[in-house]
Amino acid sequence: MEDYSKILAVSGKPGLQKLVGQMKNGIVVESIEDGKRFPVYMSENTSALEDISIYTEDKELPLKEVFQKIHKSLSGKPCEVKLKDNKALSTFFEKVLPSYDKDRVYTSDIKKVVKWYNILLKSDLLIVEKTKAVDAKKKKAPGKKAASAKKATAASKK
């Protein structure tokens, strides 16, 4: 998965859902947590995670980038902040995203972001950009193996 366009937050439904099909008057989604499928009608509010941003002091930061910052801050571990502790949530979010707009980002928004991060991490759906150094090593390694395999094939033909 390259983006969060098929991962939805459905108003009034807990957690996150994956888009799995279309109907005449809505869509069919599957809960990421328990795999249960259910219809979502056009009258219900749905938002793709791809379309959600967090307000910062100078711009709106896509949720994908916020998840990246959380993942980096927690070294890839789940967020253990108590969701009922508003002060701890605000402190955590300020550490991860110091420039978030405290007037427009509510504690309820932070709770959702933390819940969604944990759901995506647990379900192995979190999109994490790897560092350039890791990608460079991966690109070089197959090339070296391929080159040595060609040499071995050429040597065996002689």
With 60 as the cut, is the pLDDT of residue 150 above it? no
Confidence of residue 1 (pLDDT cuts 50, 70, 90): low
Q: For 60-117, write each residue's pLDDT tens digit.
A: 999 999 999 999 999 999 999 999 999 999 999 999 999 999 999 999 999 999 999 9
Mean pLDDT value of segment 128-157? 48
Residue 144 above 50 pLDDT? no
**Reduced to 3 states, what is the DSSP secondary structure of residue 138?**
helix
pLDDT at 18: 97
Residue 152: strand, helix, or coil: helix
All domains of the chain in start order, with CATH:
7-48 (2.30.30.730), 52-122 (1.10.10.1650)
pLDDT band at 128; cut points 50, 70, 90: confident
Q: Which of 141, 146, 3, 143 is nearest to 65 (CA)?
A: 3
> Which pLDDT band holds residue 158 (cuts at 50, 70, 90)?
very low
Rounded to whole angstroms, the Cα distance separating 9 from 7 reads 7
**Whole-angstrom Cα distance, residue 85 to residue 4?**
28
Contacts 24+ apart (CB under 8 A), 30-38: 32/7, 32/119, 32/120, 32/123, 32/125, 33/119, 33/123
The pLDDT of residue 131 = 54
Question: Given the structure tokens 């070294």, which residue do they identify?
Answer: 75
Q: How many CB atoms lie within 10 A of CB 73?
A: 14
